[in-house]
């Protein structure tokens, strides 16, 4: 019976492959199938089913992506090295070097000891990314592997379910998005939500089911109106309703504090046509039939997303006034939107060609170039989340070239994304023709011009605190390492000697190779002079470095995955030594910074998050970026903080004012701010369709009480429709 099941499973896999490669020689796949079945014999999954069912199902997912035979073969073999005696050398000998590379890239680092489970996981991710830079098929197999594991995770312990689901939401789903694979991304997110918040997951399912027929009828009515007009205009098309996936609804409810009844775009209408010109013709037709919602049109055809996604998006008011979203794209765009990078692989008779894949995957190599000298696994994850997976803004050079950057990026990040020489010679910046401060947060559509000095004078050390991207910070650090090195070494030695005297430690501790050499290697220093040079320009803390040496001497190996509480937390509570205006419980001489994702001001309920090497980040307790973590795996990295009511400090926040456009509106809003003693840091006004003005104002204030007073004053202005506090960036 088992043999019959095996044969039946191979026939299913073969049929999937034959659909897109009808005449391919499947002998290599069949050999891999037999090898996997033989090597995994006797092994069981937690559910009790034969282990080999997992690689077979992963191979089927790869075949559904229509990848080549080497990919299917590697999918069948992807667990043999990790879970059996079969080796990479065996795969090279029995199959070929490419299959071995793919399997090795997916295989976890299981033979190397690590200080924590988290460090092991992150180092395995690093290994996977380096393999992915050589061959993108590595990550496609890994995504298929993770997808099947989530589909069959019911039998796993609850803690394992949550850990895998969280890792998926943090790494694999964003990676699928970055590669443009929306079909895989949506399923990964929905399955993860089911394990992270099962109550919320099933509540969404129930509420959608309750009004499904009503919503579907509404969309069907819209589709009928569109069909009639499309037929009249003789446009060849396919049209359908598209349901928003569960995790997307969950995020919207969570981040915007909405009930499901308040979300009107649960369903969207998608129109697929033959040509780009048809896309724009249909857009004009749709805008003629329905009134567009101001400010809700996006042209991803003229300006594709970095993950290659192209489509026209517009939100319209439907027949009963309820908004709905419409997407318009060609068939080629649709294939790319669904399958992303996988859609760009073309195979014929076993031969492969990558077309322009190198340019589409340049971000992977750029990311690894920045990370090549990084030994801190936490820094790797921080860069991964910020540089690759955060929301993005699209800005323009004065010549009209598009530059995409992480949300919250500044003119400094823009300059260094062009070239390190541009950043190093920067003296200021203009956005949309106006001079802005270097900490200005760039917005979609901004035209950014770098103002350069006559000489390559180099960056300011404070730029390290302003720059959002690790690419910019890395280039700034490189400049300081190269420039004035000898002077920095002398200065760094003086700092170290003062610190040694302060903590009553003999300088001979620095000559103990047994403890110092491993630390130098771990933190990316080749010799002590590198440490002194970094101390000299302010890029590291002598206190922290000495603490690591002392811990190593006392038998405590540095654990770069655990929160560095020993570096920050004192046994006595103290008041802040800076003018931050925040008291961090039990911490002395601590760097405090306010997170731009929520911009807390006095009066907000706040919490501190201990970062590694960047001090304590202050968030509003209801900030969406930390709410999961407060109760999750990183709960121990939060620390109690409170406002120092005796401090005399100002804090930035962003207000968005929506109003009926009229003369003197800008004057009236400015006067209202001045009357309430608000310091205006940035003012950006624009007019949308239907005569609606949208004004984004960054102001400095001292408390939530002042903020409430300002917002009340703004709401009283003639024509103002709403005043909302928002995140910057």
What distances in angstroms separate CA 323 from CA 219, 311, 328, one per listed residue? Answer: 11, 19, 17
Q: Is 581 left (phi over 0), alpha (psi -120 to 50) or beta?
A: left
Of the candidates 82, 94, 622, 696, the residue annotated as catalytic is: 82
- Distance from the Cα of residue 88 to its chain's centroid: 32
Angle at 161 between CA 159 and CA 166, to 5 degrees: 95
Of the candidates 83, 167, 644, 696, the residue annotated as catalytic is: 83
CB 423 within 8 A of CB 472: yes
CB 141 within 8 A of CB 187: no
Residue whose tokens read 């997110």: 189
SS3 326: strand
- Closest to 551 measured CA to CA, from 522, 572, 524, 528: 522
Residue 391 corresponds to which tokens in the numbers above?
């929301």
Widest pairwise Cα distance in the chain? 88
Helix, strand, coil percentages (3-state) for the chain, rounded to 5, are: 50, 20, 30
Torsions phi, psi of 13, nearest 5?
-65, -45
SS3 86: coil
- Closest to 727 measured CA to CA, from 601, 641, 586: 601
Residue whose tokens read 């050499």: 517
Residue 579 corresponds to which tokens in the numbers above?
């003018």
Residue 107 corresponds to which tokens in the numbers above?
């295989």
CA dihedral 343, 347, 352, 354 (to 10 degrees): -20
Cα(76)–Cα(29) distance, rounded to whole angstroms? 8
Burial class (CB in 10 A: 0-12, 13-18, 19+), 667: exposed
- Distance from the Cα of residue 61 to its chain's centroid: 25
- Distance from the Cα of residue 33 to its chain's centroid: 36
Q: What is the DSSP string of 678-693?
A: PEEEEEEEEE-GGGEE
**Catalytic residue list contains 82:** yes
Q: Is the dihedral of CA 399, 402, 408, 413 positive or negative?
A: negative
First-to-last alpha carbon distance for the chain, in angstroms, is: 60
HSE-up (13 A, CA, CB side) for residue 436: 24
Could you give the residue numbers annotated as active site? 82-83
């Amino acid at each position: 019976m088992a043999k019959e099941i095996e044969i039946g499973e191979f026939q299913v896999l073969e049929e999937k492959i034959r659909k897109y490669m009808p005449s391919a020689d499947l002998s290599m796949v069949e050999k891999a199938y037999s090898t996997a079945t033989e090597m995994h014999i006797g092994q069981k999954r937690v559910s009790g089913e034969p282990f080999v069912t997992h690689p077979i199902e992963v191979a089927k997912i790869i075949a559904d992506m229509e990848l080549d035979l080497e990919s299917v073969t590697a999918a069948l073999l992807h667990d043999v090295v990790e879970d059996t005696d079969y080796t990479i050398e065996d795969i090279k000998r029995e199959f070929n070097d490419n299959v071995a590379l793919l399997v090795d890239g997916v295989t976890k680092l299981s033979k190397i000891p690590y200080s924590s489970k988290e460090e092991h996981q992150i180092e395995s991710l690093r290994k996977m990314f380096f393999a992915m830079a050589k061959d993108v098929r590595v990550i496609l197999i890994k995504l298929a592997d993770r997808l099947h594991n989530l589909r069959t995770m019911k039998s796993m312990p609850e803690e394992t379910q949550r850990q895998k689901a969280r890792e998926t939401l943090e790494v694999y789903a964003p990676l699928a998005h970055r590669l443009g694979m929306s079909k895989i991304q949506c399923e990964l997110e929905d399955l993860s939500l089911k394990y992270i918040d099962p109550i919320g997951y099933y509540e969404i399912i129930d509420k959608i089911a309750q009004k499904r027929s009503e919503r579907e009828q509404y969309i069907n009515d819209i589709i009928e109106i569109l069909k009639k007009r499309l037929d009249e205009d003789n446009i060849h098309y396919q049209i359908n309703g598209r349901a928003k996936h569960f995790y997307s609804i969950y995020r919207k409810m969570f981040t915007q504090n909405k009930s499901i009844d308040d979300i009107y775009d649960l369903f969207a209408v998608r129109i697929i046509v033959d040509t780009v010109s048809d896309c724009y013709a249909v857009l004009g037709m749709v805008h003629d039939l329905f009134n567009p919602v101001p400010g809700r049109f996006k042209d991803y055809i003229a300006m594709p997303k970095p993950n290659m996604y192209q489509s026209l998006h517009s939100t319209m008011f439907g027949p009963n006034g309820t908004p709905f979203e419409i997407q318009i794209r060609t068939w080629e765009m649709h294939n790319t939107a669904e399958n992303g990078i996988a859609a760009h692989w073309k195979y014929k008779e076993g031969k492969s060609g990558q077309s322009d894949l190198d340019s589409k995957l340049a971000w992977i190599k750029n990311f690894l170039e920045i990370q090549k000298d990084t030994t801190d696994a936490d820094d790797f994850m921080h860069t991964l989340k910020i540089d690759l997976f955060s929301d993005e803004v699209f800005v323009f050079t004065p010549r009209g070239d598009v530059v995409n950057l992480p949300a919250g990026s500044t003119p400094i990040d823009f300059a260094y994304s062009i070239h390190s020489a541009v950043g190093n010679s920067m003296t200021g910046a203009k956005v949309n023709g106006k001079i802005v401060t270097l900490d200005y947060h760039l917005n979609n559509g901004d035209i950014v011009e770098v103002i350069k000095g006559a000489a390559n004078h180099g960056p300011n050390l404070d730029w390290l605190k302003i720059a959002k991207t690790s690419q910019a910070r890395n280039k700034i650090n490189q400049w300081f390492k190269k420039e004035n090195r000898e002077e920095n070494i002398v200065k760094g030695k003086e700092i170290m000697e003062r610190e040694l005297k302060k903590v009553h430690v003999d300088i001979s501790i620095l000559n103990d190779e047994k403890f110092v050499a491993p630390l130098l290697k771990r933190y990316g220093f080749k010799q002590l002079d590198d440490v002194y040079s970094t101390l000299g320009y302010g890029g590291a803390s002598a206190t922290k470095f000495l603490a690591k040496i002392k811990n190593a001497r006392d038998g405590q190996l540095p654990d770069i995955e655990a929160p560095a509480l020993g570096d920050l937390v004192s046994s006595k509570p103290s008041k802040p030594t800076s003018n931050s205006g925040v008291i961090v419980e039990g911490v002395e001489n601590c760097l405090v910074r306010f997170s731009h994702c929520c911009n807390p001001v006095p009066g907000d309920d706040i919490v501190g998050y201990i970062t590694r090497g960047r001090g304590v980040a202050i968030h509003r307790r209801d900030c969406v970026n930390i709410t999961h973590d407060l109760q999750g795996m990183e709960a121990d990295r939060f620390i109690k903080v409170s406002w120092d009511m005796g401090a005399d400090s100002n804090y930035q926040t962003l207000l968005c004012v929506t109003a009926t456009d009229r003369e003197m509106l800008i004057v009236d809003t400015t006067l209202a701010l001045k009357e309430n003693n608000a310091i205006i840091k940035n003012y950006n006004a624009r007019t949308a369709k239907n005569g609606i003005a949208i004004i984004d104002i960054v102001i400095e204030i001292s408390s939530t009480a002042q903020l409430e007073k300002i917002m009340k004053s703004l709401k009283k202005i003639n024509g103002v429709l709403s005043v909302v506090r928002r995140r910057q960036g």
